[in-house]
Chains A and B, each alone.
Chain A
Amino acid sequence: MTSVASGVARKKKVTFSSILMKVSMVLIIAVAVYWLGLNLTNDPKQFAQVTVNGLNNGLLYALIALGYTLVYGIIELINFAHGDLFMLGAVFSFSVLTEFLGATGPSSKNYALLLVVLLLTMLFCAFINVSIERLAYRRLRNAPRLAPLITAVGMSFVLQWIGLKWIGSNPVNVNTVLPSTDFEVAGIIIAVKTLIIFAVTVPLLIVLAFIVNKTRRGRAMRATAQDKDASRLMGIDVNQTITFTFAIAGAAAGAAGIMWAQTTGTVAYNLGFQLGLIAFTSAVLGGVGNLYGAVLGGIIIGLIQSYNDGLAIGPGQRWSQTMVFTILILLMVYRPGGLLGETAQEKV
């Protein structure tokens, strides 16, 4: 009798807390929707403008988030150094394109150089990412989870130091090769840069999705992510597959780096920490390990940040970071699996 009673009591308790969770989640979403609706009715033009700006950043976040998601998907490691890899990509592109090749200002020759340096930066970042994996993470693959995570944090510091020595402690202005012109569509100003970001990132995302979903290598990646031992038995070279994953993750970070340097026009050594966290939040929002989730998450975070910074009725730019981290924390509480992922909550 007593055991039945206690069982009933326990069940009741769980439902109460889950109701509380659901109600508070609905409340938070309602507040967010109300806030956006208020701004939309207040000034629709500005809202659309801010949305365009948000998409611009969101695509870059998506590129960085891809790296997190790929690496987490395959070895379940939050690669803290990934944001700093992106920073090194930005710094590298600045050094090569702006300083070494002297490509400043829009011209057809400079566009060609931009494409060449884009490839170089992607190679550079892929190389660094693969070396980090080779030197550090690979040796820790069977170690307790704390060890690779702390190593990643340490690597992030090392990369930041390289950036610091490379360009100094002050932000550096980049003379961009992209045109600073813009045009108007229905009263909304759209920069040409934004279109170029679309033109570069969307094909990259499609190529990445193709690699992961359609190629032999991609299949090996997905198999390794599911079960390393089983894939080894099926004849997959697990080490090589992981190296390949780090390479494409690095390449995506490099592409994001050069596009960031060219569109925002500044590069700083501590860029990677902030953007890395934003990108990671994007990856978690979409469902870490899910490729499309990372893209979706990146765009959503870009939009939210843009709304926060740009809308007339809103917290304003000084709360930008707080906004992103609050989303991260709320996600962890309400939906650790993300929007597109399955719930990865571990029972304790």
Chain B
Amino acid sequence: MANTATANTAPAHTAVSGNRKWAIGFISAVAFFFILNKFLLPQATTPVQQFFNNWFSLTSMAEIMIWIVMALGLNIIVGYAGLLDLGYVAFWALGGYVAGWLMSPFFSSLQLNFFGNARPGFEFGIHFHMFLVLILGGVFTAIWGVIIGGPTLRLKSDYLALVTLGFGEIIPQFMLNGADIAGHNVTNGAQGIGGLDDVNLFGYVIGTFALPEKFLMVSVLAGAMIFFSIRLRDGRLGRAWLAIREDELAASMMGVPLWRTKFASYAIGAVGGGIGGVGFAILVGGVYADRFNFVISIIILAMVVMGGMGNVWGVVVGATTLAWINSIGLIQVGDLVNNTFGTNINFPSYQFLLFGLLLVLMMLFRREGFIPEARIRMVMNEDKIDDEVSDETKIASN
């Protein structure tokens, strides 16, 4: 008995110390970029400044953090629970609009201020504190996750993918057409909601153009998301998700309530999208409907698939790489290639091909992702592993 107890606690212990290790790495990377951009770069020489602005601009670094939040949220649905979601952009949009509604002078007929930081002269509208908006954004998207997932989680996985895709189209279209819902202006249509409040953190106001501080803020969001992702996976619910992902029938035989567990993955995964959406709205100072389209959903999916479904670190690396390629990498590498070889190739126009081929090639040759989780590797290569196993049994019988 004693032996089994120690055997059970030992891996849990290493998991916790592992958590601390990543935290040190993550914090030092974030601190490096913050200090670099806040204090060092303004005093650096122009070429150095240009190099960092071209290859590692702070705007794209901050966006990468948002993508990490998004990808980790989708990872809970796709990577942990093994349900395909093709409309994750809906949660991004919903989170963004929660921030737009609750942190701006948009609802001009109301005047509601709850620890908010309204701009002088724009006291009308709803002004909540950022923390409250983050919580409300999470709750709101969780409710929507339940609405989307609830009636359809009993369906086959590919039907579920279609329903999510349908919502991923309907919700952004609602936002786009929302300037006139039965005579009410709900979302301000294609113009979007701009002029979000500056964040007031215990008296310290982060201005609209205070990029280093904003970067720090979204990094905290990403860090929290990484933390919760790891903790959730190791917890009871996380293990139930992994069990469902690997074998639904076996999991239900072992007493995992399938529907409730899937439901939870949907709601919690949606929270990631909502929080990321709020963070992104604060980062760019507004929310604009035309940004939310199917391509975004697929890019987030590609991040999860490329990094390694289910593995937090894989997803973080995947999100970082693809987001960087998307925002500046493709342009910069293209310029470098064009300048050195004297060619004139429009690299950003290859974005579709890049993502399409990435998804296809990953599925064909490395289904488990670049940094795979051991279990995912086995599940995804079941067809190959079966052969190996039968070979082994053959040898054994000989």
Contact = CB atoms under 8 A, between A and B. Distances in A.
A144 B382 contact: yes
Contact of A153 (B82, B248, B298, B349): B298
Nearest to A320: B173
A322 B170 contact: yes
A147 B162 contact: no
Interface in A271-289: 273, 277, 280, 284
A155 B360 contact: yes
B151 interface: yes
A139 B367 CA distance: 12
Contacts of A321: 169-170, 173
A149 to B, nearest CB: 6
Contact of B364 (A76, A140, A161, A164): A140
A161 B350 contact: yes
A322 B174 CA distance: 8
B353 A318 contact: no
A165 B348 CA distance: 12
B294 interface: yes
Given A332-B162, A332-B163, A143 B383 contact: yes
B161 A144 contact: no
Secondary structure at the B interface, as helix, strand, loop or mixed, is helix
Nearest to A326: B170
Interface string A320-334: 011001101100110
A328 B166 CA distance: 7
Interface residues of A, number: 46
B86 A329 contact: no
Contacts of B367: 143, 147
B384 to A, nearest CB: 9
Interface in A28-64: none
A159 B362 CA distance: 17
Contacts of A224: none
Nearest to A136: B360
Q: Which of B170, B305, B363 has the most CB of A within 10 A?
A: B363
B177 to A, nearest CB: 5
A158 B356 contact: yes
Contacts of B167: 325, 329
Interface in A109-150: 136, 139-140, 142-150
Contacts of A147: 363, 367, 380
Interface in A323-348: 325-326, 328-329, 332-333, 336, 344-348
Contacts of B355: 154, 157
Interface residues of B, number: 50
B162 A78 contact: yes
Contacts of B379: 144
B159 interface: yes
A142 B155 contact: no
Given A345-B154, A348-B252, A157 B359 contact: yes
B359 A150 contact: yes
Contacts, number: 133
Interface in B160-180: 161-163, 165-167, 169-170, 173-174, 177
B286 to A, nearest CB: 22
Interface string B293-313: 010001001000100000000
A140 B364 CA distance: 7
Contacts of B49: none
A241 interface: no
A146 B84 contact: yes
A150 B301 contact: yes
A319 interface: yes
B108 interface: no
A231 interface: no
A154 B166 contact: no
B161 A160 contact: no
Contact of A151 (B82, B166, B173, B360): B360
Given A145-B158, A322-B174, A158 B360 contact: yes
Interface in B308-354: 349-350, 352-353
Contacts of A263: none
Nearest to B78: A146
B155 A345 contact: yes
B305 A329 contact: no
B364 A139 contact: yes
B357 interface: yes
A146 B157 contact: yes
B156 interface: yes
B158 A78 contact: yes
Given A158-B352, A160-B356, A325-B170, A153 B163 contact: no
A100 to B, nearest CB: 24
Nearest to A284: B162
Contacts of A345: 154-155
Given A157-B356, A329-B167, A332-B163, A140 B382 contact: no
Contacts of A136: 360, 363-364
A243 interface: no
Interface of A: 76, 78, 136, 139-140, 142-151, 153-161, 164-165, 273, 277, 280, 284, 318-319, 321-322, 325-326, 328-329, 332-333, 336, 344-348
8 contacts: A151-B360, A153-B301, A157-B353, A160-B352, A325-B166, A325-B169, A332-B163, A346-B155
The 5 residue pairs across chains A and B that have the minimum distance between CB atoms: A154-B359, A157-B356, A161-B352, A158-B356, A142-B383
Interface of B: 78, 82, 84, 86, 151-159, 161-163, 165-167, 169-170, 173-174, 177, 248, 252, 258-259, 294, 298, 301, 305, 349-350, 352-353, 355-360, 362-364, 367, 379-380, 382-383
Given A136-B363, A150-B359, A158-B360, 15 more contacts: A78-B162, A142-B383, A144-B382, A145-B158, A151-B359, A151-B364, A153-B86, A157-B352, A159-B356, A325-B170, A328-B166, A329-B170, A344-B156, A347-B154, A348-B153
